[in-house]
Amino acid sequence: MTAHYPFALPPLPYARDALEPHLDARTVSIHHDRHFAAYIDRLNRLLAPYEAYHSWPLPKLLLCREELPDAIRLGVCRNAGGVYNHDLYFATLTPASSPGPAPVLEEALIRDFGSMEDFRAALHAAALDVFGSGYAWLCVDGRGRLSVVKTANQDTPLPLYPLLCSDLWEHAYYLRYQYRKGEYFDNWYALVNWQAVVERLARGLGQTDVAPGP
Ligand code: MN
């Protein structure tokens, strides 16, 4: 992801049909090339006249929203969130056959959720509990504690550092799964790029803008 304005659409790290049969090529194409691209375009258009914010990275646009001019605050929050969330969503998927979590992540998940199955169940329950559009997340706090959280619309879990997100907007699954959100979740979960999640965990533990745990 480009660090700051002008933001550019990151290319998909796999072919548009590479996630079949779990996620169909048409859904992936529309999701990435239309929805994700639209958040990038709108964010750039909003920021274009405001040079003072051209050097701000995405997390700063989201965390320091009170410093933004009233005229663009809401639009920047919505669209910077859309960019941040979709960047993470596509970067943490991989064609099925990804090995499971590396020991360092598996141990942390078992420590904080009880077992891998309990973690999966917690994320699944959060995903099904998202009312309307939003996301279910796995996050790490400044003390290395993992948690599952939900957000609405294009809100992010920042300053908790997100490791993984399930996009529960209907555009993420409706063409193939319609009302079968649980089936979409199971198929999405089969595509999780655990190597990318482990790399994010290492980065998250080194972040200074991560919220301290309780
Ligand atoms: Mn989406």
Q: Ligand 1 centroid vs 132 CA: distance in angstroms?
A: 13
Place of tokens 């904080």: 112
Average pLDDT score over residue span 157-168? 97
C-beta separation of 16 from 25 below 8 A: yes
pLDDT at 214: 42
The interaxial angle of helices 103-113 and 116-129, nearest 10 deg, is 70
Distances (CA, A) of 168 to 18, 21, 141: 20, 18, 23
pLDDT at 1: 76
| Three-state secondary-structure class, residue 88 | helix
Q: Ligand 1 centroid vs 97 CA: distance in angstroms?
A: 23
In the chain, pLDDT over 70 holds for what percent of residues? 96
Residue 164 CA, chain-centre distance (Å), reads 6
pLDDT at 212: 55
Confidence at 208, pLDDT banded by 50, 70, 90: low
- Bin 185: left if φ > 0, else alpha if -120 < ψ < 50, else beta: alpha
Least confident of 35-49, 96-110, 122-136: 96-110
| Main-chain phi, psi angles of 79, to 5 degrees | -80, -35
Confidence at 178, pLDDT banded by 50, 70, 90: very high
Task: Indicate the pTM of the whole model.
Answer: 0.94
C-beta separation of 109 from 201 below 8 A: no
Q: Ligand 1 centroid vs 8 CA: distance in angstroms?
A: 17
Q: Ligand 1 centroid vs 152 CA: distance in angstroms?
A: 12
Confidence at 64, pLDDT banded by 50, 70, 90: very high
Q: Ligand 1 centroid vs 36 CA: distance in angstroms?
A: 7
Q: Ligand 1 centroid vs 134 CA: distance in angstroms?
A: 9
Q: Ligand 1 centroid vs 166 CA: distance in angstroms?
A: 9
